Structure 1
Amino acid sequence: MSLSSSQQRIHKTALKLFAESGSTNISVSELAAASGVARGTIYNNKLSPETLFEDIASQLSVEMNARIIKSFGNEEDPAIRLAQGVRMYIRRAHEEPDWGRFICRFAFSSTSLMALWTGSDSPLPDVIAGLESKRYTFREDQLISIMSLIAGSVLTSIFLVLEGHKTWRDAGTEIAELLLCALGISREEAFKIARMDLPPLLEL
């Protein structure tokens, strides 16, 4: 869904309110006041308070993973793609703390946000490709646990960064290395891949 500049501004404000409150419900008055607009502006931009949380969560899921895939360029190695994707998540959470807090609060409770880990543009297809090509060595019946490990590791790393316990560089590099080892990449190669230059996160 393509958003106008005013819709993007209101979405950004709503994301901040959701992240700070931990609630999936905010009033039109609250959103209008925080956005610095009149109540009518919310309605004129066709934003429904009843569906705003899921609208934002759905857009966030699609947008982030699509940007990561675009940023990969011609890279086809699933191990490199996974390591870079993980690090891009953690870097963005450092650069956009409200975005990171929103994910940390709702990633396992929102159906829309589950697409971050299970959708067609999520890490899932790359993990499956890595298993089928023998790049990874975990058992097929462990796939769900592997995806849970990736999701939980990313969220925990984001939390550590937001709380000031780790820099995004250290958290991203360390968790990328550990995840690759868990998937069957040798320690030496995992160390190298996790420290490759990280490309910028491209806009769509």
Structure 2
Amino acid sequence: MAEAKTTGGDPRRARTRAKIIAAAFNLFGAKEGVLVRIEDIAALAGVTRMTFYNHFASMAALREAVCFELTHDFLTSVTQTLATLDDPSERISTAVRMYLGRAVSDAAWARSILNLSSDGLPFGAETFREAEQTMREGIAAGVFQDVESALGRDLVLGTTLAAIATILRGQTGPEHAERVAAAILRGLGVEPEIARRTAFAPLQSSNLT
């Protein structure tokens, strides 16, 4: 994937880049955000198409930059939480519940994630890599059965994205995040009772945001 061009330490260039990213976030966060064009972003940011390309090589590069802005700090928080858990199934369950909790509390964030993931790596490159690494660790530990790391990664990320879409439609039932997490764990080969117990275990209050 093409990388966004750097600002080279120029404050004015950095401000322009930030304006483009902010405009993209606003547009991707709308219900019709999946249809956003470069022209739409440039117009909202108040820049020309040429200026856009001075900062981003392509729409794909912009999407990845926006994904990074949307997910990096949150992923850091999630990763810090997961580092306190030894069991890979607990890490997967906790991550899923934290992402779905964020979707419930921040619809614009959730819609942006959904729209950006429709034409790129689900949740962006950072989260994509972290999910597969957790899968590898779980497979190596014998916690996840009869699944390859890439397939398990897709199961986790794809199911979580679908659950976010359900949240945005307002069609969730009681304990939606826990039920989704339990279903994912069962799909990864975890025994049903263990999957349910893990997915419904209380989250620490510091992990709910």
- What is the TM-score with the length of structure 2 in the denominator? 0.73
**How far apart, CA to CA, are the structure 2 residues paired with 1:73 and 1:147?**
18
Task: Measure how far apart 1:110 and its partner are.
Answer: 2.2
- Give 2:151's aligned residue: 145
1:47-83 per-position Cα deviation (integer Å, ceiling 9, x unaligned): 9477644321233343332221112352121110100
Query: After superposition, where does 1:16-35 map in structure 2 within 5 Å?
Result: 16-20=26-30, 21-22=33-34, 23-25=36-38, 26-31=40-45
- Give 1:35's aligned residue: none
RMSD: 3.2
Q: Kindly provide the amino acid, as one letter, of the partner of residue 135 in structure 1.
A: V
TM-aligned CA distance change 1:149 to 1:14, over 3 Å: same
**How far apart, CA to CA, are the structure 1 residues paired with 2:144 and 2:162?**
23
Q: Structure with the greater relative contact order (CA < 8 A, sep ≥ 6): 1 or 2?
A: 1
TM-aligned CA distance change 1:53 to 1:24, over 3 Å: farther
Alignment partner of 2:163: what SS?
A: helix
- Give 1:115's aligned residue: 125
The worse-fitting range, judged by mean Cα deviation, of 180-189 and 154-163 is: 180-189
TM-aligned CA distance change 1:113 to 1:174, over 3 Å: closer
Q: Kindly provide the amino acid, as one letter, of the partner of residue 68 in structure 2.
A: S
TM-aligned CA distance change 1:180 to 1:202, over 3 Å: closer
Query: After superposition, where does 1:154-193 map in structure 2 within 5 Å?
Result: 154-167=160-173, 170-193=175-198
State how many pairs are aligned.
184
**How far apart, CA to CA, are the structure 2 residues paired with 1:91 and 1:16?**
21
Structure 2 unaligned segments of length 5 or more: list them: 1-5, 7-13
**How far apart, CA to CA, are the structure 1 residues paired with 2:22 and 2:44?**
14
- Give 1:99's aligned residue: 109
Structure 1 unaligned segments of length 5 or more: list them: 33-38
The counterpart of 2:132, out of the listed 124, 128, 132, is 124
**How far apart, CA to CA, are the structure 2 residues paired with 1:68 and 1:171?**
19
Task: Measure how far apart 1:188 and its partner are.
Answer: 1.0
1:59-115 per-position Cα deviation (integer Å, ceiling 9, x unaligned): 334333222111235212111010010011111111111111111122141258442
Are the counterparts in 1 of residues 92 and 134 from structure 2 also a CA contact under 8 Å? yes
Give me the identity figure in percent. 20
Are the counterparts in 1 of residues 93 and 198 from structure 2 also a CA contact under 8 Å? yes
